[in-house]
Amino acid sequence: MQKTILLQKLSGIQTIESVRDILHVSKPMAIYYIHRLRKNGYVKTRRQSNNHRVYSISIDNKLGGKSYFDIINMYSPIKISTSVTYQIYGKEPGLEEALSYAIKTRSLRTILASLALFKKISNWTRLYNLAKENHIERQVGALYDLSKKIMKVRRMTKRFRNYSLSQKKYRFEYVIPGLKSRDFVDIEKAWKVYLPFNKADLDGFL
């Protein structure tokens, strides 16, 4: 089968089983076709929590771009598999951009995985500017304090904390609309932000 036809048929998020179904081939042939596309740079592989492999197949992979999910997966023990890639070309996205993007997705698993980025973030000025631009200063602060409870993180600057806390005159906000925490009410009160996680949700980091 021609490479261009293979790429057209398999573009997206696939597993060995879905490749078999799409191409109507045996498992060894499905593995061969994935290997063939990977050799040409079209495949990125991730492992799910059950250790099953998931393949992101796209012509964009060959262009060398990196997505926000790639950055999160690089540092987090909780891996994200998604058909939405948003790959960025010309420069590698920073940790600050990846964290801001994760919060804006309002996806429970994406935000949970992104907490690991606090271990590496050092450019707090950049993070504050992005948070202010996206109106999520207090969300970032609350998630940072949450991350401190489960891992060793880099120290937030006093300037970031003070500037963000100055927004407390406003009403309570959510990280994910409608979700509140039972276990981290102290953080919620400090930042006037409802957190979507409880202690049991953080087991993946422990």
In single-letter form, the type of residue at position 55 comes to: Y
- Looking at the structure, do residues 142 and 98 belong to the same domain, yes or no? yes
- Looking at the structure, do residues 52 and 146 belong to the same domain, yes or no? no
Give kind and range of the element (H or E) at residue 194.
Answer: strand 193-194
Q: In sequence order, which residues have a C-beta less than 8 Å from that of residue 45 and are 6 or more positions away? A: 38, 53, 54, 55, 56
**Domain housing 92:** 68-206
pLDDT digits (tens, 9 = 90+) for 50-97: 778 888 888 777 766 678 888 898 899 888 876 555 555 556 678 999
Tokens of residue 54, six digits: 């998931």
The domain boundary residue, chosen from 15, 38, 64: 64
Residues 124 and 160 sit within 8 Å (Cβ to Cβ): yes
The domain boundary residue, chosen from 12, 31, 64: 64
- Looking at the structure, do residues 103 and 205 belong to the same domain, yes or no? yes
- Looking at the structure, do residues 75 and 145 belong to the same domain, yes or no? yes
pLDDT > 70: percent of the chain: 91
The Cα–Cα gap between 98 and 85 comes to: 12
Answer yes or no: is pLDDT of 167 > 70.
no
Name the average pLDDT for the chain. 88
- Looking at the structure, do residues 100 and 200 belong to the same domain, yes or no? yes
Look up residue 25 and give its DSSP letter: -
| Prediction pTM value | 0.69
Range list of β-strands (E), 8-133 = 12-14, 43-47, 53-57
pLDDT digits (tens, 9 = 90+) for 95-144: 999 999 999 999 999 999 999 999 999 999 999 999 999 999 999 999 99
